[in-house]
Each structure stands twice: as structure tokens, then as C-alpha cells.
């Protein structure tokens, strides 16, 4: 039901086994994630009921408070995971790129989603059914260690970010956001420049940085004026990534605002 919220059901859904098998292939052979290391037997278990689906830009994959029906794998495209503050202000907590899994925390803890996932551009996402996934998790030797490690990494990331948000002023947080975007979606160009290959609105950059829209606009304009970044349509090119790294790591109040 979650799947059908944003997209009409695939026109092929009713055609039975042949199409079903087609979905299975999409959800396994084109995937870059951990599941490609599963044994044939485990793959079979996992793929029961799996479905691949296309989403337009700005479509909701799952929503905070909903009960999960399975786990998602981002095959192509980009997705943001955000939480809604009680004043309506969104805070992006994570970015996903192809190969990333989505919604596994809710499945593993048996809770409802505590964040919302929305596509940043048109994306292909695979959905593995909850029972199939949990069954595979139990019989597989690689899956539990993988998720243990992955959760550890997520936790470290979240706690590092916590520190950043508490202690860093807006300027450093926006610089840190650009660094984060380089890591997630960056493509290296000539002479050390990096293209952030994602079309993010100013509001989304603000929501990543934990600042208000106008502040993000002003700081980006300032970065541009200083020739650290440039704008190419809706995309950002980083001219001086070392400067951004320096700013984002510098402690509060030592930065001069020339």
C-alpha cells in the first residue's frame, strides 16, 4: 500500500509469473548492495514478493509514522531522509545514493518509520517484503554482520553530526553540508574541482544544514563571491574544496568574515 501511494501500480502487475520473474531480476542482478553476496538459496528467499518501481522527483517513498511493509533498495537516483520538526521545519538526516538501503532501521527494530524518505530526482527503487527480508536475515551468515556494521556507521555519523550542529555556527554548517554533498554526490572535474551532481533547492540545502532558508542563500552567495563555489544551473560546483574543509572544521569564532 505504501508502494502504490505515489505511483500507480505497474501496468504489468497482473500478468503473473513472467512479470514477477522480471521484477526479481531487476531487484537482484542490477543491484549494487549487500544482497548480491547472498547464496542462490538466500536470494530466492529474499526475492519472494519483491518489486521494482520508478518514482518521479519529489515523491514520497515512505513517511514518518507509517508501519513498514518491507525494506527498500535505491537502484538509481537520489533520495533524502528527513524528519519533521514540530514547527514544520524539516531536517534532513541522511542522503542516499544508488546501492543504499532505505528503511532497514524500522524493520530491524520493529518500529514505525521515524523519518520520511523522498526522491530528489526520478529514481528506481526496489521493495523487498518484510517477511522475505527477515527470513533471509535469519538464514544468511553475512547479513546480520553487515547490518551491525552499517548501523554502527550510521550511529557514528549521526553523533558526529550532532556535535557539528550544536557547536558550529551557520557558516560552518553550510560549508559542512557542501562537503557532505561532495562525498555523497560529488563528481571530480579537471583541476580539482568537484561537481555536486544533484539539483537541490536552496531550501533543501538549508534543511541539510539546519539553518533557515535565507541564511543558506546568504552564505552560499558569500561562498560564491569568495570563489569557493559556483552555480551551474541548479547544480553547485566546488572550486576550492580545501577552503570548504577548512571552514567546516574551524572552531567557532575564529573565522573572519571579510
Q: Min. distance of Cβ 217 from a second copy in angstroms?
A: 18
Q: Write out the three cell numbers for 48.
A: 519472494
When CB distances are held under 5 to 8 angstroms depending on the partner's kind, the choice from a second copy, DNA, none that residue 25 binds is none
Distance from the Cα of residue 45 to its chain's centroid = 26
Please provide the size of the chain in residues.
258
Q: Write out the three cell numbers for 224.
A: 560564491
Q: Min. distance of Cβ 171 from DNA in angstroms?
A: 5
Q: Which residues pair with 55 in a beta bridge?
A: 123
Integer angstrom CA distances of residue 230 from 23, 79, 210, 238 = 41, 23, 22, 6
Is 221 one of the binding residues for DNA (CB under 7 A)? yes
How far apart CA 97 and CA 95 sit, in angstroms, is 7
When CB distances are held under 5 to 8 angstroms depending on the partner's kind, the choice from DNA, a second copy, none that residue 161 binds is a second copy
Query: By C-alpha distance, which of 234, 236, 209, 189 is closest to 57?
Result: 234
Is 89 one of the binding residues for a second copy (CB under 8 A)? yes
Q: Write out the three cell numbers for 247.
A: 571552514
How far apart CA 208 and CA 72 sit, in angstroms, is 22
- Among residues 152, 231, 246, 249, the one that binds DNA under rule CB under 7 A: 231
Stretch that binds DNA, among 66-74, 133-141, 156-164, 218-226 (CB under 7 A): 218-226
CB nearer to DNA: pick between 253 and 258: 253
How many Cα atoms sit within 13 Å of 89 on the Cβ side?
11
How far apart CA 234 and CA 194 sit, in angstroms, is 15
- Among residues 9, 12, 189, 252, the one that binds DNA under rule CB under 7 A: 252
Is 189 one of the binding residues for a second copy (CB under 8 A)? no
Q: Which parts of 167-206 interact with DNA (CB under 7 A)?
A: 169-171, 201-203
Is 195 one of the binding residues for a second copy (CB under 8 A)? no
Cβ distance 72 to 103 under 8 Å?
Answer: yes
Q: Which parts of 159-178 interact with a second copy (CB under 8 A)?
A: 159-163, 165-167
How far apart CA 130 and CA 108 sit, in angstroms, is 10
Q: Min. distance of Cβ 138 from a second copy in angstroms?
A: 9
Q: Min. distance of Cβ 8 from a second copy in angstroms?
A: 32
Q: Is residue 132 classed as helix, strand or coil in its secondary structure?
A: helix
CB nearer to DNA: pick between 106 and 179: 179
Is 245 one of the binding residues for DNA (CB under 7 A)? no
When CB distances are held under 5 to 8 angstroms depending on the partner's kind, the choice from DNA, a second copy, none that residue 158 binds is a second copy
Binding residues (CB under 7 A) for DNA: these are: 169-171, 201-203, 210-215, 217-218, 220-221, 231, 234, 252-253, 257
Amino acid at each position: 500500500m505504501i508502494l502504490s501511494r505515489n505511483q500507480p501500480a505497474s501496468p504489468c502487475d497482473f500478468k503473473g509469473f513472467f512479470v514477477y520473474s522480471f521484477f526479481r531480476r531487476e531487484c537482484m542482478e542490477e543491484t549494487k548492495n549487500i544482497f548480491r553476496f547472498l547464496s542462490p538459496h538466500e536470494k530466492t528467499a529474499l526475492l519472494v514478493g519483491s518489486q521494482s518501481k520508478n518514482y518521479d522527483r519529489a515523491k514520497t517513498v515512505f513517511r514518518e509514522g507509517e508501519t513498514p511493509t518491507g525494506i527498500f533498495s535505491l537502484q538509481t537516483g537520489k533520495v533524502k531522509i528527513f524528519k519533521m520538526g514540530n514547527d514544520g521545519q524539516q531536517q534532513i538526516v541522511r542522503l542516499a545514493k544508488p546501492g543504499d538501503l532505505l528503511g532497514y532501521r524500522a524493520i530491524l527494530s520493529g518500529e514505525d518509520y521515524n523519518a520520511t524518505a523522498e526522491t530528489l530526482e526520478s529514481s528506481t527503487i526496489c521493495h523487498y517484503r518484510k517477511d522475505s527480508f527477515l527470513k533471509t536475515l535469519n538464514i544468511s551468515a553475512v547479513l546480520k554482520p553487515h547490518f551491525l556494521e552499517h548501523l554502527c556507521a550510521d550511529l557514528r555519523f549521526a553523533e558526529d553530526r550532532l556535535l557539528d550542529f550544536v557547536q558550529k555556527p551557520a557558516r560552518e554548517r553550510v560549508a559542512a553540508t557542501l562537503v557532505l554533498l561532495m562525498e555523497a554526490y560529488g563528481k571530480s572535474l579537471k583541476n580539482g574541482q568537484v561537481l555536486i551532481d544533484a539539483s537541490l533547492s536552496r531550501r533543501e540545502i538549508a534543511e541539510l544544514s539546519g539553518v533557515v532558508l535565507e541564511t543558506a542563500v546568504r552564505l552560499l552567495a558569500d561562498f560564491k563571491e569568495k570563489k569557493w563555489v559556483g552555480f551551474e544551473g541548479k547544480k553547485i560546483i566546488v572550486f576550492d574544496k580545501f577552503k570548504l574543509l577548512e571552514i567546516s572544521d574551524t572552531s567557532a569564532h575564529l573565522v573572519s568574515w571579510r
